[in-house]
Amino acid sequence: MRTRIRNGKYTKRERSERFSKKYDFFPDDLPIDEYYELHKNLLAEYIRIAPLSLIVIQVVTGSKEAWFGIMGDFRKYIKDIVVWDKGYGQPAMHDKVLNRATEFILIFGDGSAGRYVHQAMFPRGEGEDIWRIGRDNEFFGTHRAVFPKKLVRKALSYYSKETDLILDPFMGVGTTAVVAEEMGRRWIGVEIEEKYCAVAKKRIEKARGQKRIDFFFRNA
């Protein structure tokens, strides 16, 4: 999210070549209140329909206030937090701002007390809360926010088993589905951009051994 601060107040994204824009097809500069409401409502649906939800967040200027608020609202559903260590931080976009080398993976469950996760597949003493996985250099057209396949594989190996159904509501170019195919999981993906769907289709067909997908994504 590329919301910025000017004179001590949040503004929309600065329109400058200095600042990256990871998506061509939609703006990522929602006002804080709208961003908060969007993801609060989405998280409520995830919790309603799924026994376990993993959400990757990066603490940046445009999202930290919203996500800290959401974490408070859903605090009883947070089972645990994983730190994704990407190895190095890309230079911050302003002076006096920390480079960000990590992201959080929030694990939301059924609201029961404690950190025990019924769906977890790792034995006692083997579940790590820091995942040291470097960035992928694999880009697909203008989509420059692709998760590393190793990160998805780690998440699925920790919290799912074969034949489980995996939902990715922001599918992008299909990395979650590709890894799910490789690991024997079923999957559902949701994506609003047709061009990203086309890329995902090719990647998933390759993971399936070139077996054609006759019915794929459809925009509303």
What is the 3-state composition of the chain as percent helix, strand, coil, each rounded to the nearest 5? Answer: 30, 20, 50
User: What pLDDT is attached to residue 27?
Assistant: 60
Tens digits of residue pLDDT in 87-114: 999 898 889 999 999 999 999 999 999 9
The list of the chain residues with pLDDT below 70 reads: 1-28, 137-145, 210-220
pLDDT for res 143: 55
pLDDT of amino acid 48: 97
Strands (E), the chain: 4-6, 9-11, 53-57, 78-90, 100-108, 130-132, 165-168, 186-189
pTM of this structure: 0.85
Distance CA 151, CA 96 (A): 30
Q: What is the pLDDT of residue 17?
A: 47
- 214 vs 121: CA distance, rounded Å: 33
pLDDT at 40: 97
Domains and their CATH numbers in the chain? 1-135 (no CATH), 136-215 (3.40.50.150)
Q: Own/partner pairs for 205-210, CB < 8 Å, 24+ apart?
A: 206/178, 207/177, 207/178, 207/181, 207/182, 208/181
Backbone angles phi, psi at 6, to 5 degrees: -140, 130
Identity of the amino acid at 69: G
Q: Which residue's structure tokens are 């997908």?
A: 213
Tokens (6 digits) for 155? 């998440």
pLDDT score at 153: 98
Strand, coil or helix: what is 140?
strand
Residues in CB range of 88: below 8 A, 6 or more apart: 99, 101
185: its two tokens: 């999981």
Please, which residues bridge with residue 53 across strands? 108
